[in-house]
Amino acid sequence: MASIISIANQKGGVGKTTTAVNLAACIALAGKKVLLVDIDPQSNATSGLGVTPNGNGGIYDLLMGSANLDDVVHDTEIDTLKIVPATVDLAGAEVELVGVEHRESRLKQAIQPALDRFDYLVIDCPPSLGLLTLNALTGCHSVLVPMQCEYYALQGLSHLMKTLKRVKQALNPDLRIEGILLTMYDARTSLTRQVQDQVKKYFKDFLLNTVIPRNVRLSEAPSHGQPVVLYDSRSKGADAYVELAKEIIARTRRGNPSSNMSEVTP
């Protein structure tokens, strides 16, 4: 049975898609079968893997019931990594799903056939807390929260935690936090250290050991349609995501201890 991880943060520019693409790639290169689901209308995870959706479409068609999973799963440069891409049609899904029965669980139903075929499903969410993100949170087992080391990101984290509690209570009682991942980390700045200290103070049980540094190669890789581990395997960014993949796999094996959101009181 696959472990389903949503990569979510309502704030944009925190390294969410970068994390989704590179975590999925590194887990796949560790010998696991991974399906990356791009549910962000910007479709950056899709282009970041160099994938151009074929005529059968992508996640929009899956959500609307006009295609099945096999129709929309695409290969990538890594044999054990597949992707359900996002297309331009996904931008209208928020509106079109409003009148659909069980609208918040369409994704959960659609990905059921994948659970016995993959070890991990990684869902790249939009930078919002709308209906698409709600579908991801309803259909996943855990949430990984990338967080940029800045003051406003810390405020947004508190908001997101409250939202996750509500989703857990109303729609997904098994939802847990996979971890909080510090991104764009620069130990030379006092702000980075201050934000890290605040996260440790309020969310220490959820903070991952791995941190993702600011790295030029991480920024360059998407324009080449590759995860950083293929674009430049010797870069600090690649090393960081390899370590993150190891940490996530280890947490999956032993059972994620960061599951009790009721103790979060920011």
Helices within the chain (DSSP H only): 16-29, 44-48, 59-64, 69-72, 93-96, 106-110, 131-139, 151-170, 190-203, 216-220, 228-231, 236-254
pLDDT, one tens digit for every residue, the chain (266 residues): 899 999 999 888 899 999 999 999 999 999 999 999 999 999 999 999 999 887 668 999 999 989 999 999 999 999 999 999 998 889 888 889 887 888 999 999 999 999 999 999 999 999 988 999 999 999 999 999 999 888 777 777 888 889 999 999 999 999 999 999 999 998 888 888 888 888 888 888 899 999 999 999 999 999 999 999 999 999 999 999 999 999 999 988 876 555 555 544 44
Instruction: Give, in degrees to the nearest 5, the angle at Cα 126 between 92 and 181.
Output: 175
- The token duo for 149 is 């080391």
Answer for the pair 52, 229: CB distance below 8 angstroms, yes or no. Answer: no
Q: Is the pTM of this model over 0.85?
A: yes
Joined tokens for residue 216: 């030029």
Say if residue 54 is exposed, middle or buried (CB neighbours under 10 Å; 0-12, 13-18, 19+).
exposed
Q: Give the whole-angstrom CA distance, residue 238 versus residue 199.
A: 24
To the nearest 10°, report the CA torsion of 228, 35, 136, 40. 50
Interhelix angle 151-170/190-203, nearest 10 degrees: 20
